[in-house]
Amino acid sequence: NAGVTQTPKFQVLKTGQSMTLQCAQDMNHEYMSWYRQDPGMGLRLIHYSVGAGITDQGEVPNGYNVSRSTTEDFPLRLLSAAPSQTSVYFCASSRLRGQADQPQHFGDGTRLSIL
């Protein structure tokens, strides 16, 4: 019963490096999203997708790219890592039909440090 799987769980990068955070779900959910969580703050939406081939920006999209080539996968790319991107990143998915009432299911999170 995998649900939402995120990899890696921990990562340390140097400023300027790029990397991809992986997210996969096996629940056939149409909606997938990425959040970051910083101390003392709630989760903030980075990007989201309502289906394969469709992505859109959330509250804090700058410095991040996403793509959705399949229903299952929704990778998040950091183009040129900056210390301000040090955070815990969560991927989430949910059904889309009647989506207003559909809660999101979260992965375990990726703890990312940028030096």
- Applying CB under 8 A, the residues found at the interface with another protein are 31, 33, 35, 40-45, 48, 50, 56, 58, 90, 99-101, 103-109
Instruction: Give the span between the Cα atoms of 51 and 30, in whole angstroms.
Output: 5
Q: Residue 57 or 69: which CB sits closer to another protein?
A: 57
Q: Residue 18 or 108: which CB sits closer to another protein?
A: 108
Q: Among positive and negative, which fits the CA dihedral 57, 58, 62, 68?
A: negative
Letter for the amino acid at 56?
A: D
Closest distance of CB 18 from another protein, Å: 25
Closest distance of CB 16 from another protein, Å: 28
Instruction: Give the span between the Cα atoms of 14 and 107, in whole angstroms.
Output: 25
